[in-house]
């Protein structure tokens, strides 16, 4: 009968422990949260408001139930302005015991009075705004969190109005008789008619002042 030495026994024990470890089933993540597009960009409406939908998926493990959802109000970096947020109509408890639900996780409202800029922070701090889902199997609680942000840009209407106003001002200044006389004076093209127009403008201005 052949006896095994101590070193051989140690090697066999090590191999057995390794096989046992690899043979153990891999535990699934008990709670998962996915936001399809956590960084949204929206053009501020000229009037009224726009409702933004943050869609995604929530899943729970076999023994886990939905416990709580926590949603931050979305503030800018200085916390001087915020965008109101609200949970969507999705029932997260439909994903209990190994299920999954997808749809509108929460919403945010951008109105015509919202100050343009980046919104993605906690109030009074510089930590990112978060949406969290908590699940439990009656022995432990597991919370998963995703950050989100909203970039509000200036509407085209505001830029167009400014451009139109500037264009009208430039057009008026270059089409007035006094402006035309100044341009022709610089180029040496003044005529008796130009001087008559200028004299008329000056006399009319004097009458208005008196």
The confidence score (pLDDT) of residue 86 equals 97
Q: Global pTM?
A: 0.62
Q: Report CA-CA distances (Å) from 141 to 13, 43, 133, 170, 189.
A: 36, 39, 10, 67, 88
Rounded to the nearest angstrom, the gap between the alpha carbon of residue 43 and the centroid of all alpha carbons in its chain is 11
Residue intervals in the chain for CATH 2.60.40: 31-154
* pLDDT tens digits, one per residue of 117-129: 999 999 987 899 9
Q: What percent of the chain has pLDDT over 70?
A: 61
* pLDDT tens digits, one per residue of 80-95: 999 999 999 999 999 9
Query: From the CB of residue 54, how many other CB atoms can be counted at a distance below 10 Å?
Result: 21
pLDDT tier, 157 (very low <50, low <70, confident <90, very high otherwise): low
For residue 9, pLDDT over 60 is answered with: no
* pLDDT tens digits, one per residue of 136-154: 998 999 999 999 999 999 9
For residues 15 and 148, give the distance between their C-alpha atoms in angstroms, rounded to a whole number: 47
For residue 159, pLDDT over 60 is answered with: no
Neighbouring residues of 74: CB distance < 8 A, sequence distance ≥ 6: 82, 83, 85, 108, 119, 120, 121, 129, 148, 149, 150
Fold of 31-154: Immunoglobulin-like (2.60.40)
Beta partners for residue 144, in sequence order:
133
Residue that the structure tokens 């430039």 belong to: 170
For residues 40 and 107, give the distance between their C-alpha atoms in angstroms, rounded to a whole number: 11
């Amino acid at each position: 009968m052949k006896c095994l030495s101590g070193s051989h026994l140690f090697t066999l024990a090590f191999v057995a422990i390794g096989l046992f470890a690899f043979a153990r089933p891999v535990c699934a993540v008990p709670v998962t949260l996915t936001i399809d597009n956590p960084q949204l960009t929206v053009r501020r409406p000229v009037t009224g408001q726009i409702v933004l939908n943050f869609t995604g998926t929530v899943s729970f493990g076999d023994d886990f139930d939905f416990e709580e959802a926590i949603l931050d109000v979305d503030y800018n970096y200085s916390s001087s302005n915020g965008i109101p947020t609200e949970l969507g109509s999705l029932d997260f408890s439909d994903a209990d015991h190994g299920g999954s639900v997808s749809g509108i996780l929460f919403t945010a409202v951008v109105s015509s009075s919202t100050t343009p800029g980046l919104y993605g922070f906690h109030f009074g701090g510089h930590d990112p705004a978060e949406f969290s889902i908590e699940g439990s199997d009656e022995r432990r609680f597991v919370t998963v969190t995703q950050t989100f942000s909203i970039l509000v840009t200036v509407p085209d209407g505001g830029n167009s109005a400014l451009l139109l106003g500037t264009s009208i001002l430039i057009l008026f200044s270059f089409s007035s008789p006094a402006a035309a006389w100044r341009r022709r004076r610089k180029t040496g093209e003044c005529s008796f008619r130009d001087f008559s127009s200028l004299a008329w403008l000056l006399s009319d201005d004097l009458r208005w002042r008196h």
